[in-house]
Amino acid sequence: MLTLTLSKRVNKGKKEPIKLKKPVFNLRKIIVFVIFLLACVALYLLALNSYCDQGGSFDLGVCSVTSFIPW
């Protein structure tokens, strides 16, 4: 059988301290995510550059943007 009890103390005029939550994102996770995102963008631009070098064309002018990529 399960019984519930109230274990809160009654403070006379004193407020309980605010407990800070553990942050969801720390600096290491943000840095790893940014590096992963940059790697994905670099590989995508590399694929677009290869496609444009083979003679493919886009209506939006993406091939003109990939001409600035040094690789």
Segment 6-58, tens digit of pLDDT: 555 555 667 777 887 777 778 888 999 999 999 999 898 888 888 887 877 77
HSE (CB half, 13 Å, CA atoms) of 5? 2
C-alpha to C-alpha distances, 23 to 34, 36, 51, nearest whole angstrom: 18, 21, 42
What are the residue ranges spanned by the domains of the chain?
27-66
Q: Does the pTM exceed 0.85?
A: no
Output the six-digit token pair for 37.
């995102």
